[in-house]
Structure 1
Amino acid sequence: MHRGLKPLLAVAAVTLAAGCGAPSDPEVTFYSHGNSVEVKPAQYCDPTGQDCSKPPADPAGELRMTGRDPLQISVPNEVASTPWQVAFIYRDIAGNEVESRSEVFPPDTRHAYTLHLPPDAARIEHVEVQQFSALLTAGPDGGVQFGIGGSWVLNVHE
Structure 2
Amino acid sequence: MHRGLKSLLLAAPLGIAALAGCSAPADPQVTFYSHGDAIEVAPARFCDATGEQCSPPPADPVGELRVPEKAPLQISVPGDVAATPWQVAYIYRGTNGEEIDGRTPVFTPDTRHSYTLRVPEDGTRLEHVEVQQYSAVLTAGAEGGVDFGISGTWVLDPR
Counterpart Cα distance in 1 of 2:20 and 2:68: 45
2:158 — aligned with what?
156
Counterpart Cα distance in 2 of 1:147 and 1:121: 34
Select which of 42, 53, 78 maps to 1:51. 53
Question: How many residues in Structure 1 have an aligned counterpart in Structure 2?
Answer: 150
Question: What is the correspondence of 1:118-133 to structure 2 with a 5 Å cutoff?
Answer: 118=120, 122-133=124-135
TM-score (norm. length: structure 2): 0.86
Report the 3-state secondary structure (helix = DSSP H, G, I; strand = E; otherwise coil) of the residue aligned with 2:124: strand
Counterpart Cα distance in 2 of 1:139 and 1:121: 36
Structure 2: any 5+ residue segments left out of the alignment? 1-6
**Equivalent residues of 1:68, 1:124 under 8 A apart:** no
Match of 1:18, as an amino acid? G
Counterpart Cα distance in 2 of 1:54 and 1:12: 30
**Equivalent residues of 1:90, 1:99 under 8 A apart:** yes
Say whether residues 1:18 and 2:34 are aligned partners: no
1:36 — aligned with what?
38
Question: What is the correspondence of 1:100-139 to structure 2 with a 5 Å cutoff?
Answer: 100-118=102-120, 122-139=124-141
Shift of 1:121: 6.1
Match of 2:111, as an amino acid? T
Aligned sequence identity (%): 60
Match of 1:52, as an amino acid? C
Counterpart Cα distance in 1 of 2:25 and 2:31: 17
TM-score (norm. length: structure 1): 0.87
Shift of 1:118: 3.5
Structure 1 segments of 4+ aligned residues over 4 angstroms from their partners: 9-14
Offset from partner CA, 1:48-74 (integer Å, 9 cap, x none): 111111110110100011112100000
Structure 1: any 5+ residue segments left out of the alignment? 1-5
C-alpha RMSD of matched pairs (Å)? 2.0
